[in-house]
A and B are shown apart, each in its own frame.
Chain A
Amino acid sequence: MFQKTTIEKLLPIAIIATILSSCFKDTGTKTYKLYTPIYQTTQQVRASIKNDAPQPITTIGKMVLLGNYIFLNEPQKGIHIINNTNPEKPINAAFIAIPGNENLAIKDNMLYADCYTDLIAIDISNPQIVAPKGFVNNLFPERRYINGYYVDSGKVITSWSVRDTTVSLDIVEGQGIWTNGSYLTTTNYRGGIFFASALTSSAGVGVTGSTSKYAILNNYLYALTSFQLKSINITQADAPQLANSISINSIVETIFPFNNNLFIGTQTGMFIYGLSNPAIPQQLSQFTHARNCDPVIADGNYAYVTLHSNSNTTPSIVGCVGTLNELNIVDITNLSQTKLLKTYSLSRPYGLSKDGNLLFICDIKDGLKIFDATNPLNITTKQTLAIGETSDVIALNGIAYVVAKDGLYQYSYTNTNNVTLLSKIALN
C-alpha cells in the first residue's frame, strides 16, 4: 500500500524534473587581458636604441659580465647596464631599450643583441653613449610570430595595449573546463623563462653563461635559433655578416665555447662542434640523454651537464619535459667519443659554472649549491646558499653572480669555506 501510494505521489515530481531539466543551462565566462600590438617601423626602433636613464629592474634574463660592468637583459625590453666597480654597491647606471631582446654577447666595445628577428651591433665603447652600428636582418625568422601575431617585415612590436575582456564560454570540451571532477583541457600553458650563466672569458669578450644562446670565439658570433646554429662573422665588429646556418636535429637551448669547440645543449643531448673552419662548425659527436632541459659547461677533460625536469607540475605542463634531475659528468678526452662517467642526483638543477675546483649549480628549488669538484668523479657538497629559486650563476674571479627569482646576488668565495654576500640588486 505504501509503495503504491509513494510511487503515485512521486510520479508528478519525476515528470516535472524531466521536463524542467532541459530548461536549465550552464553558462560560463572567461575574463582575460587582451593584448593588441602597437607597431613601429624597424627604422623607428633602430633610431630609438640609445642609452636611457636607468630603469627599474623587474625581470632578469641573460647576463653578461665585462670588466666592471654587468649587462642584464630585461626580457623583451632591453639591457640594464650595472656599474659594478664596487661589488658591494653596484649601481644601476643606464638602460638600452631594445624591443624583443632576449640574448646578448659582447666583444671589445661591441654589444650584439637580438631585436626580434634582427641582430644589432651596438657600440658601447662609452656605456653612457651607445649607438647601433650594424644589423643582420631576419637572422631569427621564427620570431616573426609573436603571441599569435605575424609581424610583417619592416615592422616591430614595441608595446601592447591591454584591456580586460570578458567573453562567454561554452561548456564544451576544449574550453578548459571542469566536468565530473576532472579538468578537460588546458589551453594557456606556455614555456617559462630561465637565464644564463658563465665560465671563462677571453680578452675583450663578455662572459656569457651555461644557458646562453650566444657565444663568441675569435671573429665569430655563434647564435642559436630553435633548430639552427648560425655563425656570424664579426671580423668587422660593426658590420656583422651571416656566414652559415647549420640545422640541428633537436631543440637547441644553450651554447658554451671551450677550447675552440662549441658545446651545445639540446633537449635530447649534448652536441660538440669543432671550429677548424670557424665559419662552418663541424659536428664532432653527440652525447644523447633522455629528453630534458640541459645546460652544459666544460672544463679540462670533462663536460658537466645538468638535466632538469618540470616534474613538480601535476599534470605535466609545457616547458621542460622528462623527469630527470641530475648532473652528468661526461668524459670529453676524445671529443669524437664522449662517454658518461658519473651521475649525481639533484633537486632541479639548471645554470652552472665552474671556477677552479669549485662547481656552482643553481638547484632551482634549493638555491645555489657549491661543490668541491677537485675529483669530478667524487664531487662533494661544500655549501648550500638557500636564497630561494635560482636559475643562473657566473663564478668569476672570486665572485659568484647569482640570478634568483628576487634579484641578482653577488657572493664572495675568496674564502671557499666562508662564502659571504656582497650585495643584492632586488627586483622592483
Chain B
Amino acid sequence: MMKTIITTIFCYLFITSIAQKKTIHFSNITNAALLNGSSQSAFGFQTINGIKIDKWRIGVGVGLDNYGIKSIPLFIDVRKSFGNKKWQPLVYADGGIDYPLPNDYFSAKTFNGHNVFDFKNRFYGEAGIGINKKITSKLEFNVTLGFSYKHLSYFEYYYISYDPYIAGTNYTQKDFYYRRLALRLGVQF
C-alpha cells in the first residue's frame, strides 16, 4: 500500500510539472553505495538514466547490489530537489525488480539431476532523502540516505528416496527480506 501511495504521489507531481511545459534535459545519476543492515554491510552501485524537467528527474536505473546474494536491481527512479541554493535537498523513490546474478551454485544439481536452486525475481525498492551540490555548471555532487528493501526468494530442491509416498524431488522455499540503510554518494548531470 505504501509503495502504491508513494508512486502515485510522485507520478502526480511529475505529470503536473510536465504540464507546465518545462524544458527537458537528459539526466544521468551515478552513485556508489554502502548498504548497511542487521546481518552485514555491502557495497552497491547504480546508474540511472532518464530525463530532467526543472527540479524533477525520472529515469530507469540499473545497479549492482551485493547484499545477501549478488544481484542486479532494475528500477524506475523518481526524485525531486528543492530550492535554488547551492545545497539543494532532495527526496527520491525507486521501485523495480531485483535479478539474482548467476553464480556457481546455479549449476548445482541434486542427486537425480534437478537444479538445486531456482531463484525468483522479486521486488526491489528504496526511498530516501539527500542533498545536491553543484560542482560545475552542469555537474552536481549528491549524497542520499535511504531505506532500501530487497526481497530474495528461491526454491531449494532436494531428493527424497526412502520415505513412503513422498519419494521424489522436494523443495523448501526460502524468502529473505533485506532492509538496509543505503548511503549513496555520486554525481549527476
Contact = CB atoms under 8 A, between A and B. Distances in A.
Interface of A: 6, 9-10, 13-14, 16-17, 20-22, 24-33, 35, 58-59, 75-77, 99-100, 102, 146-147, 157-160, 162, 169, 171-172, 176-181, 183, 186, 188-193, 310, 312-315, 317-320, 389, 405
B111 interface: yes
A192 B176 contact: no
Contact of B164 (A24, A100, A320): A100
Contacts of A146: 162-163
A317 B116 contact: yes
B129 to A, nearest CB: 8
30 contacts: A9-B133, A13-B131, A13-B183, A17-B145, A22-B38, A24-B179, A24-B180, A26-B37, A26-B39, A26-B178, A27-B179, A30-B172, A32-B173, A59-B168, A77-B165, A146-B162, A147-B166, A160-B166, A171-B38, A178-B68, A181-B103, A183-B105, A310-B111, A313-B110, A313-B116, A314-B108, A315-B105, A317-B109, A317-B110, A318-B111
A171 B150 CA distance: 14
B181 A181 contact: no
Interface residues of B, number: 56
B21 interface: no
B134 to A, nearest CB: 10
Nearest to B69: A178
Given A16-B145, A178-B152, A191-B159, A33 B170 contact: yes
A400 to B, nearest CB: 22
Contacts of B104: 314-315
Nearest to A31: B173
B164 A159 contact: yes
Nearest to B183: A17
Interface in B47-84: 66, 68-70
B160 to A, nearest CB: 6
Contact of B68 (A30, A179, A313, A389): A179
B147 interface: yes
Contacts of A169: 174, 176
B109 A312 contact: yes
Given A10-B143, A13-B183, A158-B164, A192 B111 contact: yes
A232 B90 CA distance: 83
A14 B133 CA distance: 17
Contacts of B159: 190-193
A32 B173 CA distance: 6
Classify the secondary structure of A's interface with B.
loop
B170 to A, nearest CB: 7
Ranked 5 nearest A-B pairs via Cβ: A192-B111, A193-B161, A319-B111, A76-B164, A181-B70
A4 to B, nearest CB: 13
A180 B36 contact: no
B17 interface: no
B175 interface: yes
Contacts of B147: 24
A17 B38 CA distance: 13
Nearest to B40: A179
Given A13-B145, A26-B39, A28-B174, A21 B181 contact: yes
Nearest to A147: B163
Contacts of B162: 75-76, 102, 146-147, 193
Contacts of A100: 164
Contact of A24 (B38, B87, B101, B112): B38
Contact of B131 (A9, A16, A181): A9
B158 interface: yes
A125 to B, nearest CB: 27
Given A9-B87, A17-B181, A314-B104, A160 B174 contact: no
B39 A313 contact: no
Contacts of A315: 104-105, 108
B38 A59 contact: no
A190 B105 contact: no
Given A14-B183, A58-B168, A181-B103, 13 more contacts: A26-B38, A32-B173, A76-B165, A77-B165, A77-B167, A102-B162, A160-B163, A190-B111, A190-B159, A191-B159, A193-B161, A312-B107, A314-B108
A131 B68 CA distance: 57
Contacts of A179: 39-40, 68
A314 B133 CA distance: 48
Given A26-B177, A315-B104, A190 B161 contact: yes
A145 to B, nearest CB: 10
A21 B36 contact: yes
B83 to A, nearest CB: 13
Contacts of A177: 68, 174, 176
B174 to A, nearest CB: 5
A51 B173 CA distance: 39
Contacts of B168: 58-59
Contacts of B161: 75, 190-193
